[in-house]
Amino acid sequence: MSTEKNKTTKKSEKIYERAIKVLTGGVSRNTIFRKPHPFYVSTANGSYITDIDGCQRLDFANNMASLIHGHSHPKIVEAVTKQLKRGSAFAMGSEIEVSFAELLNNRTRAFENIRFMNSGTEAVMTMIKTARVYTGKHKIAKAEGSYHGTYDYAEISQNSDPTNWGDINNPNPVPVVEETPDGILNDMVIFPYNDTERTLALLNQNADQIACVLIDLVPHRVGLIPAKKEYIEAIYKWTRKNNAVLAFDEVVTYRVNYSGAQENYNVDPDLTALGKIIGGGFPIGALAGKAEIMQVLDPRETNIKHPHSGTFSANPISITAGYTAMSLFDKQAVLNLNKLTKKAIEQIEEAINLAEIPACVTGAGSMFRVHLNKNKPRTYREAYQGKEVKVIINELLDYLFLKENILMINTCACMFSTNLDQTHVDRLSEALLNGFRIIKPKLENTL
């Protein structure tokens, strides 16, 4: 490590020395860990983050897709500050919760009732439990490779690899955490994403036991590959025929259109899990869907089939921030952001051609992912990155972070925010072109 680098990381190194003594691995979420140590934020505003050592970086990660308006948006800060002076959390309701529910329910056709919680993981967990109560069945079907949070059932097979994923005609349920009970694995049906014939065959084998089919319409971990319309329509018809709930995970994808990624399809889900951008930068989750199904949560019922609560659910800080953020993210804002993202993809594809490397870009709306594949992947197994490729991607991301002062998500993905403009896009595409040229020799030796 150079003397210059020691100077720029001195404060971060000292903080990490303290961190490893009190935090497991020195962090509370593994996604921020990097060797030799994480970097620590001093301030963040708009599109930029300044670390504690004074380095300013252009942020295209936006806290894993959760900041649709970037950092410290003045209207969100103002609204939250006013609410904070009135109180942060109560064992009572707040009017803003009702207003936010009205806003979201009016925004998306499939939403009739909604419940707020504290994270996307909680939203998916509640959605799965609600589907089980409503249908009286237990098994959950989900796509291989898809990430739906950290609930035991939802996380199965999110990181399957060639050593354990099994036959494509019957993918293995692969645990993420060691010692996951066999009962959980036995209650999961794993199907190959975007493969209609194989998916329907697997669903049919378990038709009388499946409570819900859980699917992300543009799954990040699978490869940010949009689900084919005919694929979703086939699954929808199957759920109608077999008394199963069609459950969309839009925690990440609700940013794709004004009404979420589901706006691109001709069928409506029964339930939708939300999170990330609807919190305006604060922790939040939500479950929305048909009133008939959501009724299992209703405390007015004589028999409350699914008691649901949470100390910080619908806390007025997250709700106020979310209401403000989603009010700002109106139809024109969505169109403008998606247009800018499309331009970014075009410029990155041009950079790929100039660098003459085997790479491509997938995505939808205001998000995209760079793959070191010549052809766009259509499935999880096509998008899967082996260890050698992951090393090259990490080298590219480290170059962007340390040399170009650009932050991307560790899958080589970007999640745009409304405060980005063409100058930021130009900087990103130029930096990626430089990075592509650096990794090109290793890429040629690997592929």
Q: Are 433 and 344 within 8 A, CB to CB?
A: no
Question: How many residues comprise the chain?
Answer: 447
Evaluate the omega torsion of the peptide bond into residue 316 and state whether it is cis, within 30 degrees of 0: no
pLDDT of residue 427: 98
- Max CA distance (Å), the chain: 70
List Cβ neighbours of 24 (8 Å cut-off, separation of 6 or more): none
Say yes or no to pLDDT of 288 above 50: yes
The DSSP annotation for 52-103 comes to TTS-EEEESSHHHHT-TT-BS-HHHHHHHHHHHHH-S--SS--HHHHHHHHH
Burial group, residue 391, by CB count within 10 angstroms (0-12, 13-18, 19+): middle
285 in Cβ contact with 120 (< 8 Å): yes
In the DSSP assignment, the letter for residue 302 is S
Q: Is the pLDDT of residue 6 over 70?
A: no
Q: Is the pTM above the cut of 0.75?
A: yes
What is the bridge-based pairing of β-strands 139-143 and 210-215? parallel
Q: What is the mean pLDDT of the chain?
A: 95
Tokens of 410: 């560790």
| Residue 445 pLDDT class (50, 70, 90 cuts) | confident
Q: What share of the chain has pLDDT > 90, as a percent? A: 94
pLDDT digits (tens, 9 = 90+) for 134-152: 999 999 999 999 999 999 9
The C-alpha atoms of residue 188 and residue 206 are separated, in whole angstroms, by 10
Tell me the CATH number for domain 74-328: 3.40.640.10
Rounded mean pLDDT of 309-326? 97
Do 261 and 253 meet the contact criterion of CB atoms below 8 Å apart? yes
Amino acid present at 68: I
Residue 207 vs residues 9, 201, 215, 420: alpha-carbon distances, Å:
56, 10, 17, 46
pLDDT of 9 over the 60 cut: no
- For residues 320-345, average pLDDT: 98
Residues 342-387: tens digit of each pLDDT: 999 999 999 999 999 999 999 999 999 999 999 999 999 999 999 9
For range 166-184, the mean pLDDT: 97
With a cut of 80, say whether residue 4 has pLDDT above it. no
Where along the chain do its domains lie? 39-68+331-446, 74-328
Note the pLDDT of residue 409.
97
Closest CA relative to residue 372, chosen from 404, 402, 346, 394: 394
CB under 8 Å to 134, separation ≥6 — which residues?
211, 245, 293, 296
User: Which positions ≥6 away from 232 have C-beta within 8 Å?
Assistant: 215, 217, 265, 267
Q: Give yes or no for residue 77 having a pLDDT over 80.
A: yes
**The CATH number of domain 39-68+331-446 is 3.90.1150.10:** yes
**Edge-to-edge strands, sheet with 139-143:** 113-117, 285-289, 271-275, 245-249, 210-215, 139-143, 188-191
Query: Which tens digit of pLDDT belongs to each residue from 30-61?
Result: 888 888 889 999 999 999 999 999 999 999 99
pLDDT value at position 35? 85
The pLDDT value recorded for residue 1 is 36
pLDDT of residue 34: 85
Q: What is the mean pLDDT of residues 227-239?
A: 98
Residue range 19-34: mean pLDDT, rounded: 91
pLDDT band with cut points at 50, 70 and 90 for residue 447: low
Contact indicator for 171, 205 with CB cutoff of 8 Å: no
